[in-house]
Amino acid sequence: MGRGIFITVEGTDGSGKTTQVRRMEAYLKEKGYDVLLVREPGGTRISEKIRSIILDPENQEMGIVTEMLLYASARAQLVFEVIKPAIENGKIVICDRFVDSSYVYQGFGRGISLETIEEANRAALGGISPDITFFFDVSPEIALKRRFASTGADRIEKEKMAFHMKVYDGYKKLASMHTERIKTIDSTRSVEEIWEDVRKWLDRIIDK
């Protein structure tokens, strides 16, 4: 059995990425692939417990390094328990957020150096990296309006707009640094128009 494919999806909350993730999963399953969908932080019993600590609005005193390490810890468990074994068994893994989120939220957003984040995550990643990453590009103003219209805000989402702008700018910079891996998708368009772009890239990666 050959190695599977690792797909990650990034974007601010409200960018429409979760809708597209579900379509990706359904599309690939229809084509006969064994697909596993996971999210960050979370995806395992331990990682979900860490997620609840990170996103709890009551934990306002959380330090930025603590936050970074909690994300890395949740990621390490997900990679060890779920992602790496699935890829080794030939599955297609779709992960809603991965280490790029740490670079933009804790790096560009909080001001922790990218080198520190890379070092903290080296062991957590277990030597794996995405084959392709979709960045759903939409401004924070639009994304957060969408998000708040559908659900309440967690601790990260309650940050000021200046923070979300830093995160968004960070995504744009990261995408420009890794153009081969990160595919920027204009997420201001209709769901169907966005899906057409995503589907074309999916077909390329699975046909390699």
Number of domains in the chain: 1
For residue 149, pLDDT over 90 is answered with no
Q: Could you tell me which of 92, 84, 83 has the C-alpha nearest to residue 43? A: 83
Average pLDDT over residues 46-52: 98
| pLDDT at res. 51 | 97
At 203, is the pLDDT very low, low, confident or very high (cuts 50, 70, 90)?
A: very high
| pLDDT at res. 208 | 75
Task: Using alpha carbons, list the distances in angstroms from residue 46 to 39, 72, 78, 109.
Answer: 13, 12, 9, 26
At 156, is the pLDDT very low, low, confident or very high (cuts 50, 70, 90)?
A: low
Computed over every residue of the chain, the mean pLDDT equals 93
pTM score of the predicted model: 0.92
Maximum Cα–Cα distance across the chain:
48
Write out the residue range of the structural domain in which residue 136 sits. 5-206
Q: Which residue has the tokens 């068994």?
A: 89
At 147, is the pLDDT very low, low, confident or very high (cuts 50, 70, 90)?
A: low
CATH number where 153 lies: 3.40.50.300
For residue 118, pLDDT over 70 is answered with yes
β-bridge mates for residue 39, sequence order: 96
Average pLDDT over residues 80-98: 98
For residue 157, pLDDT over 80 is answered with no
Cα separation, 56 vs 51, whole angstroms: 8
Average pLDDT over residues 121-134: 97
| pLDDT at res. 153 | 56
Angle at 198 (CA atoms; ends 43, 184), nearest 5 degrees: 90
β-bridge mates for residue 119, sequence order: none
For residue 154, pLDDT over 90 is answered with no
